[in-house]
Structure 1
Amino acid sequence: MQQFKVFKSSAGSGKTFTLVKEFLKLCLSQKEPFYFSRILAITFTNKASKEMKERLVKTLKLASRDDKNEEDSLAKAVREDLSMSREELREAASLTLRWLLHAYGDLSISTIDRFNLKVIRSFARDLKLPLNFEIEMQQVQLLERVINSMLSNIGHNPSVDKAILDYSRWKISEGKNWKIETDLLKSSKRLYDDNAQDLLNKIQQLTTNEYLELIQRLRTAIGNFESKLQQIAKQAIDLIEQPSLSYDDFHYKKAGAINFYYKIYNGDYDAGGARISAAIENESFVANKTNNQDLVEQITPELIRLYHEIKGVLEKDLEKYISWKHLSTQLPTQALMANIHSEIEELKKDEQLLNISDFNQQISKVVQTEPLPFIYERIGERYYHIMIDEFQDTSILQFQNLLPLLDESLANGNMSLIVGDAKQSIYRFRGGEVEQFSQMPNIQHKKFKEGFNPERLSSLIRNYHPQELNYNFRSSRKIIEFNNLFFDCLGENYPINDRNLEIFKSHKQEIPAHADDDGYVDLRIMEREEDGEKLHLNEMLSIIEELKGRGYAYEDMAVLCQSNKQIREAAEFLNEKNVPLLTSEALKVESSPKVEFLLSLMRLQLNSDDLASRLFIFDYLFEEAYLNGEKSELQMCFVSKSVKGFNILFNALDFEVSIDRKSNENLLQWFERQIRDFKLADEYDLYLQFFEEKVLEFQERNHGGTEEFLNFWEERSKDVNVDLLESGDAVQMLSIHKSKGLEFPIVIMPFLSGKVEPSRSNLWVDELPEPAEELELALLKGSNELLKSTFKDDFERELIKAEGDLLNMLYVAFTRAEKELYLISIPPTESKSQLSVPILLNDFKQKLEQLEGEHYCYGKPSTKVLEEEVRTLESDQINLKKYHSSSWNDKVNLSLEMRTQWTDNADEMDSRKYGSLLHEILARIYTIADIEPTLSAFWHAGRITEVEKNELLDQLSHIINSEELKAYFSQSVKIKNEATLITEDGELLRPDRLIFFPDRVVVLDYKSGAEKSEHVQQLENYAKEVAKISKQPVEAKLYYLQSREVKIVA
């Protein structure tokens, strides 16, 4: 029996359902209740692991219940596959669940990184790793450390210095910024892909000096090629420009055939065209009307000979010349990358660090040479069954390391499985190789032939058992039909490579028989304009507002974008329009003008001559209307003042501030003081909140001052995002990559303009022309010019893969929606040299019903059936209107007798604080029995003295036992203290006490001091809001603590 199950799972086909079902079938078909520990399930993300575990436990719980009426669908599927009765399943599930809960640590469902770490910990000594090695999660930060160190040490290593200089000069010659840090970081990241070990070995085969010598040989070859062609072209130009002739003597003058020689002379090797071809074919360069026909005809044979000589050189060496040029510009980077890798390895050795990217490399060293038990039994487990999720995104090295486990499982007659979908392979940039899945089990990729044990691969072939999961249980009928139609017409109008068409050959999804005839797809083609992004944003907002009008909640909607930059633009726009958002990757704290204003103030402490900070401070204050007057005059004041002068200037402008840091003031206190002094907290600001959290994090972990914090912020600011919400009624915003595996009722996709971009595709090449043949590997930056080089086959393969990435990304995005899908795109450009989303949508839109203009739809929009909303007095969410910032003495609790020592107006402070304290105590008292424990708690906290405690006991007992209030502190009624009410405008109201009687509701509010008219108005507002949600009549009463009088308001 073939035991290697390969599930080809299309979007929405119940992949998690299938994985858990197969897991449970293995567990419940065995007599051992601990059999779950014999199964290893590998997932792609922590979220997927969590979801699978939760689904597993939930199904076991439901199957364990003695419920003869309802049966869980997953439990039913397991029971039917195992031909069990419900009682048999219940007994088996109950026993397995008990064992599972008692030995939950033996449940092996995890990401491959977590599993690998477990393995590596077990044989660290065998690999000669430090037993107490630390895991370095931030690979980028490690790279940044080494790159910054290398650049700061210029002058210490002449060969590295020269490589840096060479690369900087090339960037300047290309009109780019000469700084190389970003480019080096981007290139070096590729060294830590799972599939990069061979690359690392090969790029380090040359020393930095050897790289520089090779670069010089390439430049010599380039110079020789250019010089040779220039000399030949110069001979032709000398003939053309002899004194007896002029351009008028030649056909089409200088724009005619003779222009070929001038282009070649100037280094334009694409020269050619109809005119020179006709001249060569007809053996004629002469103009129709010329007095020098004989002289032109006399030089024509030589011009023809020189043409053929030039063509001969181009045909022989042009491909190599283009290759040399690309190599000479990129090899300085590669030399530096090799140096960076060496430095990182030294740093990791010194600090006893391991990267996650090292895990697979370390395991591979053993797996390829040792038998299975040595590496995997060391962790005390022997897995009978292996399950691998999202196999299309698994790297070659990961598969190599897991293959021995699969082979061992199948060799013992056990079932193992993989699940994947080649159409959803969107993580190639992380090392994912879709061919592993699309060509399974007869994988033709050359890397498999090089690095895999053929006997282990043959085991997969013998046991191969493919299964299709084609039904879409996620999306509505019209969305499934739309996607079937869209992907069915791939290649009809625009050529798609066969490799990618093969992946989408089986794209068509089946629609469940019970599916309703609903769903809606809306395609809007926006005009190409300068302010096109704004058009997309406004269109997105109008869709959201339209959906709200049809009864959908914000939480039903998701906005998917192709890049984090697009997410930030969309999030900032919607945030300004007060649309609640849920995202973790959109808003950068560093983009906040208020945050940058505070940082500029801080920078002035270090350098009072920091002109950029001075100008930013001025611009911020002027734009926010803090300053009145002539802009140029005010700007001159800000630029010319010293820090001390700044304080004087601020005070003159009615800012009672000091930007100097006081001796007893920590960083957080300084920032908070600036927030209050400059009135930055009048409105609630998420950016300020998250910024202050980072200030606090720095303060708790470090003991540095201003300069250290600014350095800390410089390193971390790019990674500090604003998490807008964690849950609740909010529009979700995420990248298409992050949306994989998720589903949403409504999906909106603005900015749909992605395309296959050669400049974004970098590739490693391993067949290099002389004089670079000694180099085994080189990294090149993508360019269409590579199609004319010796690397054209490599680059064509890369473009084919990039084309597949684009199609897969669209498939993932288009299949996230359950009910409605909105696509906002632009018309395609006239040039169709590279595949783009606008080209695909434009080719397809004829299949949709045209509504008006460039607006197309499929299906009909729906109205959501509104569920009855129950408004309660308590809410999980509070919308803050103001950013709260206060001085320490507003946060520290002082006993009443100490307050007179900390204020200039003791009598006023004593009266006001006493009333506030009494108010706070009453908020914790529900009945008379709560008085004593509440006062004791305040006394233990140092809030009141023993004398004050006794005084308050007498006063509170009198209040609560009074005839007017006694009933409101009874144990027989329901009471809510300081319950939060939210008005329709989003305002928060918090009455002191609500008392629910069977026949009425009483709103009671305490007041200290004298009676005021606003007290009545405030209580009337409370009563009005309570009346909206209460079926009983509402009464409202005020109680004045000093006079002990009750005032009936309603």
Structure 2
Amino acid sequence: MSVLWTEDQKKVIDTRGHNLLVSAAAGSGKTAVLVERILSLITDPEHPVDVDRLLVTTFTKAAAGEMKERIGKALGERLQKEPDNEWLKKQETLVSRAQITTIHGFCLYVIRNYFHTIDLNPNFRIADEGEMRLLKQDTAEEILEEAFEENSPSFIRFAESYGSGNRGSGLAEMILTLYEYAVASPQPAVWLKGCAAMYDLKEGASWSDFPGADVLLEALRTVAEDCLGQIRAARRIASSPFGPAAYDEALQADELQLRALTDSPRIETFEERLLSLAWKRLPSKRAKSMADADEELCGRVKDIRDQVKEALKSLVKQYFQLPGELVMEHMRKTRENVETYVGLTLAFMERLEEKKRKKNILDFSDQEHLALRILTKEDENGMLAATEVADLFADYFEEIMVDEYQDSNRVQEAILDSICKSRQGKSNRFMVGDVKQSIYRFRQAEPGLFLDKYTRYQDGKEGMRIDLHQNFRSRVQVLEPVNEVFGRIMCRELGGIEYDDAAALKAGASYPENDACGAQILLLKQEEWEEYRQECGWTKQEAEAHMIAAGIRKMLEVDKLQIWDKGKQRPADLGDIVILLRTMSGWSETFVRVLQDEGIAASAQSREGYFKTMEVETLLAYLRVLDNPTQEIPLAAAMHGMLGGFSSEEMAKIKGAFPEDGYVRACERYRQEGPEEALKEKLCGFFARVNQYRSRAAYTSIHELLWQIVTETGYTDEVRALPGGEQRAANVQMLLQKAQDYEKISYHGLFHFVRYIEKLQKYQVDFGEADLSDGGGEAVRIMSIHHSKGLEFPVVFVAGMGKSFNRQDSRSKVVLHNTYGIGLDYVDLEERMKRPVLLKQMIRRQNLLDHLGEELRVLYVAMTRAKEKLILTGMAKEKLLQEEGAEENEKLMFLSLSGAGCALEWILKGMDARSRSLTKTVVSLKEILTCAVQEETKNALSRDELERMVWYGKRDENVSGRIEEKLSWKYPYDLSGKTKQKYTVTELKKLRMQDASDAAEELYPAADPEIVPLIPQFIESTKEMTGAARGTVYHTVMECMDFSGITRLPQVEDRLSRLEASGRLTKEELKSINRKDLLTFAKSSLSERMQRAKEEGHLFKEQPFVIGLPGVEAGCPETEEPVLIQGIIDAFFYEGDEVVVVDYKTDRVSSPEELKDRYRTQLVYYEKALRMLTGKKVKERIIYSFALGKEIQV
């Protein structure tokens, strides 16, 4: 059956000879239209085009594969009708090699075919994310280490201004942030070098000299115009029946001065008028003129006026607290720091490039940039011009088609521009997308590219624009509330496009009537949650998940929802339901657990938390034991996990038999002297397997070793038998794959793999759980809104609508913008003061608006996924829940939109006050609580009792009373949710050293000065001549090297060579070791004492620990709860019945006192840990200093 295309769809399919932009709204059949256009091009009766002469780029590999499959299938169907058509046969064979791919797939095609033009080794490989993250981190630290050694005055000023902690902590992250932003530009180095130009101001400069003056003035006027609109709205209310007409005199005066403000021709004029604003007093409510005024209308006018005053005060705080000349002076004086920052980043880029070429690897951004280098060159004006290779592609491709164009970036645009036929005077670009669904700003997507053409192509001169707004996905009952809300909240200033009649979704799908379908909002009152949270122990997320669980039961069991599927109605099931979340972290696991507790099957694929899954943690702990069996925490984890099989009771018996020993020693002694034979045998068997695998590790690849462990122990089968077993088994297989990948790219062996994983965890590189997504099944699916893009589902819950927007980016020490460049703080080290410069304030504001625009588009994506039923859920305070919504055809003011704290605020303010298409229900948490407990205790209560207790129906007070008695216990540690529960020793040391922390910034922070510490911490330690990397190498040597019998340097060299041969050290690491340092230690009295302890089995190295201390004792007085402290002790040993703790330091110092002052706190915590773990007295705390060549008693 042939498809009946709409007129607009037919225009998209048939238009030729123009650059064409298709604005395709959600559910408009974009992919089908794109495929049909491709088919029409290759089967055009007059000018047919070979399919391999089309370049079609899609956003994902899956989309490209699906498109190839659709085209191949369509060609096959036509061949069945025309079996002798040779042209169709040729196209069918060409489809497999056609350039229907992702932009990165095309870039790799260009690189692999023209690598010689940029002198690239063709045997390159694509580095994985973990490898690149570590390489970048190491390179940034290298660059900084060299800068500290060079000690130039400009760098030291930069480091003093923006660094913190030891050796300028945070500077490496600043470099990486700027680098990642710069590579989104077609010419990163050019963009970076241009950033300082915004600070290029002469002495005595004024507002008019500021390069961004026009942009700033426009932003100021936007706020003023919105304030003017608000005052005009207040005047309309005042003049309405029973309105406060007596207010109009003051409001009219407000309007006059705001009109003058919006007409300001220069910033100086705007500043003068802003600072001279005067607000007339409103008449008293007791005045005769106010006799007939409605109190509610009076309140609305006053609220609007107060909002306007606050908005204008905010402008003063942001931009006009200081004279313009001083603002410019701060900018001018910050230029040197910007230049230093740019210089460090350029040096980092160059060094990273060298390392990548040496390793012959490419990262994600290299694929685009190397392709661009092949296709373009800089002309005499520094602009990009096409190369001969680009001309070859331009001649070859008849049309360049881009799917999801709204998510393209500037580098991709430059690549496609270079190979189009515009240089030949022809138009052959086809772009399709929906700017309302541009949600990849964090990947440097540039929706402005789409919006620019959306405006320019409107008149048909430079190109054609066709809008597809008919939605073939959703019921009209779902589309109406989407249009209702976004018609009020999406505008050009926030979201990038005016949501007018042209942008509104038009229903194109045909559904039978069903009153149970449509859209609704389910809300929880925060005040009620606060009242009941100690009784129920629920977090906000858990409360919302319980509400959704109750809603699902009502929908399926009471309402018996029917959905339209394959031409007929059928009962909805769990597989039809999807819960969408803005962020999965901290939410998805909670929702899965709560729904499962309530008897509702649910699943979610986590994009993070891989290393925290039980099955992976257990395996990694076992590997750490194989690497170093003296580590107590990994040993305990391995024993208690599936690979050990020891119960908590058995482990307690082992420790209880030898309470004076550490756990490793207790296990050793129990195997020899333990009272229970069965437990002794179990321990012996466990350690026999450990020793067997340790022996294999010397000659077995890590991938092979892991495979042997999981196969021989049956580990994979065991985890598969647990809840969520298939996901767990897939995670185990993923670890094996990662081990295999690692050995292809880096050092071999267990030791290095364990260190690699530790670094990934340190730098928070997370693979995300293995992907097992295979459609619905009989379970509710929970996924992120981003993951849902392009998909559709019968029933959609959009949850977490009350979650506050994340504005962390705007509060960073450095903010970045494509046009404005770099925003830093002005820092006066002499006066110990810092404040954001004008440019930083501007970038902050623009980035905040861009972020809110993205949040608006994310909301649009979420609300357009549902086919039949859409439910929005969230928790908010009563004041917000009482929002009545907007009047008919009323647009929300820009100030109201930009000041919103969460998506729920937009929805409640944007929905029609008299809406019937979007209903709002505030659900009783007490009723949900009763229902939830009923579900968990249903085995103890009768079915009849349960059926009377659903929150949407009648409730049995007797049963409720029985349940509420069990909920009377109150959790005594309310602060624990606000206090960090686990600290490293280093963190606690910093807490002791710092008297104060930075205050949280406001949404629109004022440019108030901050105090800079008199002596930055890193300056105190600038005498160090080696970095953290060298310290790590020394610690590895001290852990692994045998010092017995060493008296001469050749013996040291021989032992180091053994470490290299075993894979513990690399050649590069060996070069950083001073052999005399090790010989001096080997001859020391401390080394002799440690050797004696080793011979007696009383020496322990690299000992991890976790202990609990009262908050006050741990330096956290805000909580009475125990705080966990974790760390690793370099070495400790027994002498008699007492313990000696040793810490190695490579710091370059001039006296022992420096080390004592710096590390006393650390050693104190080590002493406490050892006292608790061993039950013995610590008689000595020793630092061994390699710089001083001696031991130091602390």
- If the length of structure 1 is used for normalisation, what is the TM-score? 0.58
CA drift of 1:10 comes to 0.6
Q: Residues 32 and 442 of structure 1: is their aligned pair in 2 closer, same or farther, counting only changes over 3 Å?
A: closer
Per-residue Cα deviation, 1:230-284 (whole angstroms, up to 9, x for no partner): xxxxxxxxxxxxxxxxxxxxxxxxxxxxxxxxxxxxxxxxxxxxxxx9xxxxxxx
Asked whether the 8 Å contact 2:52–2:95 carries over to 1, the reply is no
Q: Residues 188 and 567 of structure 1: is their aligned pair in 2 closer, same or farther, counting only changes over 3 Å?
A: farther
Give the Cα separation in 2 of the matches to 1:59 and 1:713.
47
* 1:148 corresponds to 2:138: yes
Give the match for residue 510 of structure 1: 506
Asked whether the 8 Å contact 1:479–1:520 carries over to 2, the reply is yes
Give the Cα separation in 2 of the matches to 1:106 and 1:681.
40
Structure 1 gap ranges (5+): 67-89, 212-276, 278-310, 444-456, 769-775, 857-1050
Give the match for residue 481 of structure 2: 482
Give the match for residue 668 of structure 2: 644
* 1:736 corresponds to 2:788: no
Give the Cα separation in 1 of the matches to 2:401 and 2:484.
33
* 1:17 corresponds to 2:15: no
Give the match for residue 103 of structure 2: 112
Give the Cα separation in 2 of the matches to 1:688 and 1:830.
44
Per-residue Cα deviation, 1:985-1014 (whole angstroms, up to 9, x for no partner): xxxxxxxxxxxxxxxxxxxxxxxxxxxxxx
| Equivalent position amino acid for 1:793 in 2 | M
CA drift of 1:815 comes to 0.6
Asked whether the 8 Å contact 1:647–1:658 carries over to 2, the reply is no
Give the Cα separation in 1 of the matches to 2:866 and 2:774.
21
Q: Residues 462 and 714 of structure 1: is their aligned pair in 2 closer, same or farther, counting only changes over 3 Å?
A: same
| Equivalent position amino acid for 1:108 in 2 | Q
Q: Residues 742 and 709 of structure 1: is their aligned pair in 2 closer, same or farther, counting only changes over 3 Å?
A: same
CA drift of 1:490 comes to 1.5
| Equivalent position amino acid for 1:748 in 2 | F
Give the Cα separation in 2 of the matches to 1:695 and 1:350.
27
Give the match for residue 853 of structure 1: 922
- Alignment partner for residue 526 of structure 1, among 524, 543, 550? 524
Counterparts of 1:306-321 in structure 2 under 5 Å?
314-316=322-324, 319=327
| Equivalent position amino acid for 2:549 in 1 | L
Q: Give the number of the structure whose alpha-carbon radius of gyration is greater.
A: 1
Asked whether the 8 Å contact 1:615–1:638 carries over to 2, the reply is no
* 1:471 corresponds to 2:463: no
CA drift of 1:802 comes to 1.5
| Equivalent position amino acid for 1:714 in 2 | E
| Equivalent position amino acid for 1:130 in 2 | L
Give the match for residue 565 of structure 1: 585
Asked whether the 8 Å contact 1:589–1:595 carries over to 2, the reply is yes
CA drift of 1:473 comes to 0.2
Q: Residues 524 and 312 of structure 1: is their aligned pair in 2 closer, same or farther, counting only changes over 3 Å?
A: closer
Per-residue Cα deviation, 1:296-342 (whole angstroms, up to 9, x for no partner): xxxxxxxxxxxxxxx99932566468869998999887665334322
CA drift of 1:147 comes to 1.7
Between 805-814 and 830-839, report the one with greater CA deviation.
830-839
CA drift of 1:522 comes to 2.7
CA drift of 1:691 comes to 4.9
Give the match for residue 697 of structure 1: 737
Q: Counterpart of 1:839 in 2: which secondary structure?
A: helix
CA drift of 1:22 comes to 1.7
Asked whether the 8 Å contact 2:338–2:822 carries over to 1, the reply is no
Q: Residues 753 and 513 of structure 1: is their aligned pair in 2 closer, same or farther, counting only changes over 3 Å?
A: closer
Asked whether the 8 Å contact 2:578–2:795 carries over to 1, the reply is yes
Give the match for residue 984 of structure 1: none
Give the match for residue 613 of structure 1: 634
Asked whether the 8 Å contact 2:578–2:793 carries over to 1, the reply is yes
Counterparts of 1:290-329 in structure 2 under 5 Å?
314-316=322-324, 319=327
Give the match for residue 395 of structure 1: 409
Per-residue Cα deviation, 1:602-628 (whole angstroms, up to 9, x for no partner): 434444553543665698799975448
Asked whether the 8 Å contact 1:477–1:516 carries over to 2, the reply is no
Give the Cα separation in 1 of the matches to 2:178 and 2:656.
48
Give the match for residue 971 of structure 1: none
Give the match for residue 691 of structure 2: 661
Q: Residues 16 and 541 of structure 1: is their aligned pair in 2 closer, same or farther, counting only changes over 3 Å?
A: same
* 1:764 corresponds to 2:816: yes
Give the match for residue 813 of structure 1: 862
Per-residue Cα deviation, 1:632-652 (whole angstroms, up to 9, x for no partner): 958957844426347567964
Give the Cα separation in 1 of the matches to 2:556 and 2:194.
56
Asked whether the 8 Å contact 1:319–1:788 carries over to 2, the reply is yes
Give the Cα separation in 1 of the matches to 2:485 and 2:340.
45
Give the Cα separation in 2 of the matches to 1:26 and 1:796.
46
What is the alpha-carbon root mean square deviation over aligned residues?
Answer: 5.0
Q: Counterpart of 2:42 in 1: which secondary structure?
A: helix
Q: Residues 704 and 171 of structure 1: is their aligned pair in 2 closer, same or farther, counting only changes over 3 Å?
A: same
Give the match for residue 609 of structure 2: 588
- Alignment partner for residue 836 of structure 1, among 876, 894, 902? 902
| Equivalent position amino acid for 2:119 in 1 | L
Give the Cα separation in 2 of the matches to 1:635 and 1:561.
50
Between 382-391 and 467-476, report the one with greater CA deviation.
382-391
Q: Residues 557 and 183 of structure 1: is their aligned pair in 2 closer, same or farther, counting only changes over 3 Å?
A: farther
Asked whether the 8 Å contact 1:441–1:461 carries over to 2, the reply is no
Asked whether the 8 Å contact 1:582–1:726 carries over to 2, the reply is no
CA drift of 1:464 comes to 1.9
- Alignment partner for residue 803 of structure 1, among 841, 852, 855? 852
Per-residue Cα deviation, 1:1001-1039 (whole angstroms, up to 9, x for no partner): xxxxxxxxxxxxxxxxxxxxxxxxxxxxxxxxxxxxxxx
Give the match for residue 550 of structure 2: 542
Asked whether the 8 Å contact 2:523–2:920 carries over to 1, the reply is no
- Alignment partner for residue 758 of structure 2, among 690, 694, 714? 714
Q: Counterpart of 1:526 in 2: which secondary structure?
A: strand
Give the Cα separation in 1 of the matches to 2:348 and 2:520.
49
* 1:5 corresponds to 2:20: yes
Q: Counterpart of 1:474 in 2: which secondary structure?
A: coil
Give the Cα separation in 1 of the matches to 2:726 and 2:659.
33
Counterparts of 1:173-322 in structure 2 under 5 Å?
185-195=176-186, 197-198=188-189, 201-202=192-193, 314-316=322-324, 319=327
Structure 2 gap ranges (5+): 1-15, 201-275, 277-318, 534-538, 561-570, 698-704, 827-833, 881-895, 926-1194
Q: Residues 780 and 353 of structure 1: is their aligned pair in 2 closer, same or farther, counting only changes over 3 Å?
A: farther
Q: Residues 509 and 851 of structure 1: is their aligned pair in 2 closer, same or farther, counting only changes over 3 Å?
A: closer
CA drift of 1:719 comes to 0.9
Question: How many residues are treated as equivalent by the alignment?
Answer: 704
Counterparts of 1:1010-1025 in structure 2 under 5 Å?
none
Asked whether the 8 Å contact 1:147–1:181 carries over to 2, the reply is yes
Between 754-763 and 627-636, report the one with greater CA deviation.
627-636
Give the Cα separation in 2 of the matches to 1:677 and 1:140.
25
Asked whether the 8 Å contact 1:561–1:751 carries over to 2, the reply is yes
Give the Cα separation in 1 of the matches to 2:418 and 2:592.
49
Q: Residues 149 and 489 of structure 1: is their aligned pair in 2 closer, same or farther, counting only changes over 3 Å?
A: closer
Give the match for residue 700 of structure 2: none
Q: Counterpart of 2:525 in 1: which secondary structure?
A: coil
Give the Cα separation in 2 of the matches to 1:604 and 1:164.
44
Give the match for residue 345 of structure 1: 353
Give the match for residue 552 of structure 1: 572
Q: Residues 171 and 640 of structure 1: is their aligned pair in 2 closer, same or farther, counting only changes over 3 Å?
A: farther
Per-residue Cα deviation, 1:900-945 (whole angstroms, up to 9, x for no partner): xxxxxxxxxxxxxxxxxxxxxxxxxxxxxxxxxxxxxxxxxxxxxx
Give the Cα separation in 2 of the matches to 1:331 and 1:611.
49
Asked whether the 8 Å contact 2:542–2:590 carries over to 1, the reply is no
Give the Cα separation in 2 of the matches to 1:839 and 1:115.
43
